[in-house]
């Protein structure tokens, strides 16, 4: 199963948003959400971020995390 998310064009153009995919075995109850390593992502370019869930790893949950970069004047 592959998760793929399209990045917002305005956010990409502004360069003020960070995208990450995180995984957990139990929605963070006892197994904390962990960011997927950059090298394990299928894609993380200007338009999309995607990740293929590993086969045979049992139950795994994934989510998209979006963080805004805050600049201080």
pTM for the full model?
A: 0.87
Q: Tokens 């971020």 correspond to what residue? A: 49
Check residue 38 and report its DSSP letter.
Answer: G
Question: What's the chain's Rg over C-alpha atoms?
Answer: 14
Three-state secondary-structure class, residue 14: helix
The tens digit of pLDDT for each residue in 3-62 reads 999 998 888 888 889 999 999 999 999 999 999 999 999 999 999 999 999 988 788 999
Using pLDDT thresholds of 50, 70 and 90, give the confidence band for residue 72: confident
Mark out the alpha helices in the chain (DSSP H runs): 9-14
Q: Determine the Cα–Cα distance for residues 42 and 57; give it in Å rounded to an integer.
A: 18
């Amino acid at each position: 199963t592959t998760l793929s998310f399209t990045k917002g064009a305005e956010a990409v153009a502004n360069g003020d948003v960070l995208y990450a995919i995180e995984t957990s075995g139990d929605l963070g109850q006892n197994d904390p959400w962990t960011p997927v390593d950059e090298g394990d992502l299928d894609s993380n370019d200007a338009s999309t971020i995607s990740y293929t869930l590993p086969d045979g790893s049992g139950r795994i949950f994934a989510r998209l995390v979006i963080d805004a970069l805050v600049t201080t004047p």
